[in-house]
Amino acid sequence: MAFLFNSDAERAKVFANAFAHALPHQRFLTPAEAFDPADVRYLLTWTVPDDIERYANLEVLFSIGAGVDQIEPASLPPNIKLVRMVEDGIVRMMQEYVTLAVLALHRDLPGYLSQQAGGVWGVRPVRQAPDCQVSVLGLGVLATAVLDRLEPFGFIRQGWSRSARDIAGVNCFNGPEQLTQLLAQTDILVCLLPLTSETRGILNVELFSRLPRGAGLVHVGRGPQLDHDALIGALDSGQLAGAVIDVTDPEPLPADHELWRHPKVIVTPHIASVTQPQTAARAVIDNIGRHEAGLAPLGLVDRDRGY
């Protein structure tokens, strides 16, 4: 049986070296090589290959990214496990980015950047972290890691998920009714939701209106979750004081888009968290071990939920 690596050549070198040391019995393949598709037991890829039906003995499809919204579950036979990437590099980078973004909004960095552009020297209002409520939409692996990293600053930490969760030191909310409660007491909102039919377009006029006036937004989920016009309207009206946006729809964000030049917005090009080949290889190797031991892989996707 074999592992097929369907991604870029540079990452393939790192994965191949890791597999040679940790799983010498596992044949490591790339699409450029000649092989019998029936030998492929594991496949790592970004999207489902058009010829997926060739891999008659495929057991696990690993996404090379943390999300799986680019994969249509119905395109996979029901016996194949779909596993999203959960690795230390992705987690660490997301912790860094969200901490940076939350602190930027907390200390009004967009306001100071706007003043700097105009040559204005002026002190802007500031509140203490223990008086600031930071809420995270989504309470998966990345979100819980982000909330943990924010703890030392003293923020009031809150989180929302579809189903009930219990996280030490975090006020947890769940379900549609409690989402309204969470939003009403949120100063900085962080979106880390997966993209599903339920979350598409969730960052809209209605949601922004439920936040206290002057709240901030950090968007590191998926581009189609954000209504750009609604965001700009909320910023222009003062309903939102600032936003840090890492994902957009479309990507790349067109050069003439208003978000690039909006004085209350910081835009980055989908770089909050990127799969790191060394730690990703270790995560995949560990998951193969779990699978062969009869355990569920970490990051196993529930096809009904889409994450």
Beta bridge partners of residue 218, listed in sequence order: 190, 244
Q: Which of 270, 282, 290, 303 is catalytic?
A: 270
| Active-site annotation holds for 270 | yes
Residue 175: is its pLDDT beyond 90?
A: yes
So what's the pLDDT on residue 97?
A: 98
| Active-site annotation holds for 213 | no
Joined tokens for residue 22: 């940790």
Domain boundaries, the chain: 2-87+275-292, 89-267
| Higher-confidence position of 307 and 224 | 224
* Chain segment 70-116, per-residue pLDDT in tens: 998 778 888 999 999 999 999 999 999 999 999 999 999 999 999 99
* Chain segment 185-218, per-residue pLDDT in tens: 999 999 999 999 999 999 999 999 999 999 999 9
CATH number of this structure's domain 2-87+275-292, picked from the four choices 3.30.200.20, 3.40.50.720, 3.20.20.70, 3.10.20.740 = 3.40.50.720
Q: Which of 84, 106, 157, 222 is catalytic?
A: 222
Q: How far is CA 83 from CA 33, 48, 156, 284, in A?
A: 24, 13, 33, 9
Q: Is 164 helix (H, G, I), strand (E, B) or coil?
A: coil
* Chain segment 139-161, per-residue pLDDT in tens: 999 999 999 999 999 999 999 99
So what's the pLDDT on residue 16?
A: 97
So what's the pLDDT on residue 226?
A: 98
Shared fold status for 2-87+275-292 and 89-267 = yes
Residue 1: is its pLDDT beyond 90?
A: no
In this structure, are residues 210 and 156 in contact, taking their beta carbons and an 8 Å threshold? no
Q: What is the DSSP string of 253-292?
A: PPTT-HHHH-TTEEE--S-S----HHHHHHHHHHHHHHHH
Q: At 303, is the pLDDT very low, low, confident or very high (cuts 50, 70, 90)?
A: confident
Residue 233: is its pLDDT beyond 90?
A: yes
Beta bridge partners of residue 27, listed in sequence order: 2
CATH number of 89-267: 3.40.50.720
Residue 305: is its pLDDT beyond 90?
A: no
**What contacts 24+ positions apart, CB below 8 Å, involve 32-41?**
35/2, 35/4, 39/1, 39/2, 40/1, 40/2, 40/3, 40/4, 41/1, 41/2, 41/3
So what's the pLDDT on residue 200?
A: 97
